[in-house]
Amino acid sequence: MELVDIQKRLREAIKNSGIEQKEIAKLIGVSPQTVSKYMCKDIFPALDTLAKLCRVLDVSSDYILGICDEWKA
Residue 37 belongs to domain with CATH number: 1.10.260.40
Name the residue range of residue 57's domain: 3-64
Question: Which tops the pLDDT comparison, 4 or 49?
Answer: 49
What pLDDT does residue 26 have?
Answer: 96
> Residue 65 to residues 13, 26, 31, 32, 70: CA-CA distances in angstroms?
12, 23, 23, 23, 11
Dihedral Cα 4, 6, 9, 10, nearest 10 deg: -100
Q: Is residue 16 part of a domain?
A: yes
DSSP H helices in the chain: 3-16, 21-28, 32-40, 47-57, 61-64
Number of domains making up the chain: 1
This prediction's pTM? 0.81
Q: How many residues are there in the chain?
A: 73
pLDDT 10s digits, 16-72: 999 999 999 999 999 999 998 888 877 888 999 999 999 999 999 999 888 887 776
Q: Is residue 72 part of a domain?
A: no
